[in-house]
């Protein structure tokens, strides 16, 4: 620990975002330029706590507490405070393949369990992490390191999201020949098309990292849907590769099967977000809008998570008339409650970037809590015109389950020409699961034990959201690394991977 009294002397200050009204004019990342001296000062707040919960990586009350990839956070905080940035990068890369991704999009469960955070605002761990890797790229420290020799074994990784990329990176580094198959036109999976450009720049961040992996020997084949592609059948994949790791994600969206669901104007959030990013990249951000856009429309986003927030921010950049975000759960408290003690993830009210932008334009947080959608309304041509909604309260039934109870006198109609369903995901798409004849659990996820990742089919592994269900990018990296370790053990009889 570099400064024993740092946490007493320095107040928490995060790297600022650009002002909302400024950043709404473009698709560039929302973050302002960092100040390395300020970041070093923030690193001094790490307090030699003795038991650093920040890198425990456990699950408490159904949520991550600490870093799931066990980042050596106090160590690189100390190095940053001392100005030893290159050494900090080396420590960071021991546990995290892609800190430029997690440093931008991870909700930072490490900060939620920071020991300082039990009495004061926590250390700005996420900012420090992102600053380390960004400086590494700027200084030219991020250079390709291909393995000195190859093992002669080949692995197919299906899916190029964070789990697939981390798995491929690990397997490549120990000398296996790795081919990553991606059904989209560009690699990156969730990182490319599930997260908008203003949170994670595609060319400067995602494609830069994939380019480095290619220089190190990883092969990417895009536009290939394993099991559907007539040239790349499941049988051919298993014949040509010594092992297969499935990292296909949990991409089956939760629907809202109510009256009027077939109205023209009701779309899944990922259809909206993917189309927008694809258009940006295809047109090199020429100022035009994608076919599915929010320009001039009353937009209602149904769902209060990160994907919903991304829909809010994207709709505002399209120039929507108005945006409302409906959340069926109650508004979180402003501070931790007795039933949510440290080091659990703090379930507290906050405004993310999309809500900040909506408030700057519309004057208020766009979210409405404890609201349920009753039906979609449409005109004679089948076009969406509005939503019928009602306020609810949650009540415990005789079976002990919480159920929504409509509140009398609150039924109303709000105008809407574009409704975006952002209510999470049910699990992996079943076509590839069935083609591989994989066993599944009660939630339709591929059955593979955590830390082993082996399926019922020999030589076929599963990791990430496809195995555990919808989760965080950092959990996907954890699983991709773990699956690589077990795949390497399967191929070689032993492994040096962690």
What's the token pair of residue 437? 């004849």
pLDDT at 1: 65
Which of 230-234, 270-274, 299-303, 487-491 is predicted least confidently?
Answer: 230-234
Q: Would the pLDDT of 45 be above 90?
A: yes
Pseudo-torsion of CA 199, 204, 207, 210, nearest 10°? -100
Burial of 284 (0-12, 13-18, 19+ CB in 10 A): exposed
Element (H, E) at 243: strand 243-246
Asked if the model's pLDDT at residue 408 lies above 90, the reply is yes
**269-283 vs 306-318: helix crossing angle, rounded to 10:** 50
| pLDDT(357) > 90 | yes
* Distance (Å, whole) CA 242 – CA 493: 13
Is residue 34 within 8 A of residue 42, CB to CB? The reply is no
User: Per residue in 250-261, pLDDT tens?
Assistant: 999 999 999 999
Cβ atoms of 176 and 166 within 8 Å: the answer is: no
pLDDT at residue number 50: 87
β-pairing, 58-60 vs 177-182, is unpaired
Task: Quickly state the pLDDT bin for 397 (edges 50, 70, 90).
Answer: confident
pLDDT > 90 in the chain, percent: 96
- When the pLDDT of each residue in the chain is averaged and rounded to a whole number, the result is 96
CA distance 8 to 10: 6
- Work out the number of other CB atoms within 10 angstroms of the CB of residue 341: 12
- Cα dihedral value 292, 295, 298, 302, nearest 10: 40
Q: Which domains are delineated in the chain?
A: 6-139 (1.10.1060.10), 154-251+426-492 (3.50.50.60), 255-423 (3.50.50.60)
Question: Which string of DSSP letters, residue by residue, matches 9-71?
Answer: H----PPPBPPHHHHTTS-S-SBPPP-HHHHHHHHTT----SS-GGG--EEETTEEES-TT--
- Phi, psi (rounded to 5 degrees) for 426: -90, -25
Q: How far is CA 410 from CA 322, 371, 392, 405, in A?
A: 21, 10, 9, 12
End-to-end CA distance of the chain: 26
Give CA angle at 50 (44, 54), nearest 5°: 70
Residues 130, 104 contacting (CB under 8 angstroms): yes
pLDDT tens figures, 126-160? 999 999 999 999 999 999 999 999 999 999 999 99
223-244 pLDDT per residue, tens:
999 989 889 999 999 999 999 9
When pLDDT is cut at 50, 70 and 90, the band that residue 328 belongs to is very high
Radius of gyration of the chain (CA): 23
Closest Cα to residue 219, out of 155, 277, 279?
155
Q: CA distances (Å), 31 to each of 28, 106, 124, 149, 205, in order?
A: 9, 14, 15, 40, 13
Residue among 29, 62, 74 at smallest CA distance from 203 = 29
Q: What is the pLDDT of residues 84-111, one digit of tens each?
A: 999 999 999 999 999 999 999 999 999 9
Residue in 231, 189, 240, 241 with CA at minimum distance from that of residue 210: 189
Mean pLDDT of 399-422: 96
Q: What are phi and psi of 349, to 5 degrees?
A: -70, 135
**360 has pLDDT over 90:** yes
Q: DSSP states of 358-388 as a string?
A: HHHHHSS--EEESEEEEEEEE-TTSBEEEEE
Give long-range contacts, CB 8 A cutoff, 24+ apart: 376-381: 376/258, 376/259, 376/260, 376/261, 376/263, 376/266, 376/419, 377/260, 377/263, 377/413, 378/260, 378/263, 378/264, 378/265, 381/264
Peptide bond into 343 cis (omega under 30): yes
User: Which tokens sit at 467?
Assistant: 């195995």
User: Do the Cβ atoms of 394 and 274 come closer than 8 Å?
Assistant: no
What is the three-state SS of 110-172?
HHHCCHHHHCCCCCCHHHHHHHHHHHHHHHCCCCCCCCCCCCCCEEEEECCCHHHHHHHHHHH
């Amino acid at each position: 620990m570099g400064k024993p009294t740092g946490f007493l002397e320095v107040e928490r200050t995060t790297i600022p975002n650009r002002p909302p009204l400024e950043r709404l004019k473009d698709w560039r990342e929302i973050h302002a330029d960092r100040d390395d001296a300020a970041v070093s000062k923030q690193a001094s707040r790490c307090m030699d706590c003795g038991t650093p919960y920040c890198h425990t990586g456990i699950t408490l009350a159904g949520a991550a507490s600490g870093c799931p990839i066990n980042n050596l956070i106090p160590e690189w905080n100390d190095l940053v405070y001392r100005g030893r940035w290159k050494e900090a990068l080396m420590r960071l890369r021991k546990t995290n393949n892609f800190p430029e991704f997690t440093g931008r999009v991870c909700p930072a469960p490490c900060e939620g369990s920071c020991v300082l955070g039990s009495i004061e605002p926590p250390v700005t761990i996420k900012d420090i992490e992102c600053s380390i890797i960004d400086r590494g790229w700027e200084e030219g420290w991020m250079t390709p390191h291909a393995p000195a020799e190859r093992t002669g074994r080949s692995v197919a990784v299906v899916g190029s999201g964070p789990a697939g990329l981390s798995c491929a990176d690990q397997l490549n580094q120990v000398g296996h020949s790795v081919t990553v198959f991606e059904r989209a036109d560009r690699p990156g999976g969730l990182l490319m098309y599930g997260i908008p450009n203003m949170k994670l720049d595609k060319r400067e961040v995602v494609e830069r990292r994939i380019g480095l992996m290619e220089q190190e020997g990883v092969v990417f084949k895009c536009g290939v849907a394993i099991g559907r592609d007539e040239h790349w059948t499941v049988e051919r994949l298993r014949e040509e590769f010594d092992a297969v790791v499935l990292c296909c994600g949990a991409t089956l969206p939760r629907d809202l099967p109510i009256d009027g669901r077939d109205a023209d104007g009701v779309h899944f959030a990922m259809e909206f977000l993917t189309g927008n990013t694809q258009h940006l990249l295809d047109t090199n951000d020429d100022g035009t809008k994608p076919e599915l856009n929010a320009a001039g429309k009353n937009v209602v986003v149904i769902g209060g998570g990160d994907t919903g927030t991304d829909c809010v921010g994207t709709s505002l950049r399209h120039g929507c008339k108005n945006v409302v975000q409906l959340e069926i759960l109650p508004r979180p408290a402003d501070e931790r409650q007795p039933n949510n003690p440290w080091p659990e993830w703090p379930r507290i009210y906050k405004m993310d970037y999309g809500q900040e932008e909506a408030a700057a334009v519309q004057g208020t947080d766009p979210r409405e809590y404890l609201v349920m959608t009753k039906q979609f309304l449409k005109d004679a041509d089948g076009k969406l015109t509005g939503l019928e909604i009602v306020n609810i309260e949650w009540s415990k039934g005789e079976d002990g389950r919480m159920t929504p109870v409509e509140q009398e006198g609150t039924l109303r109609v709000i105008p809407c020409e574009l409704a975006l369903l952002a209510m999470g995901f049910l699990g992996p798409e079943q076509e590839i699961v069935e083609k591989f004849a994989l066993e599944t659990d009660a939630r339709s996820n591929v059955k593979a034990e955590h830390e082993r990742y082996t399926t019922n089919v020999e030589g076929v592994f599963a990791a990430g959201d496809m195995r555990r269900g919808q989760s965080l990018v950092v959990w996907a990296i954890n699983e991709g690394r773990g699956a690589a370790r077990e795949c390497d053990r399967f191929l070689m009889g032993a492994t040096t991977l962690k």
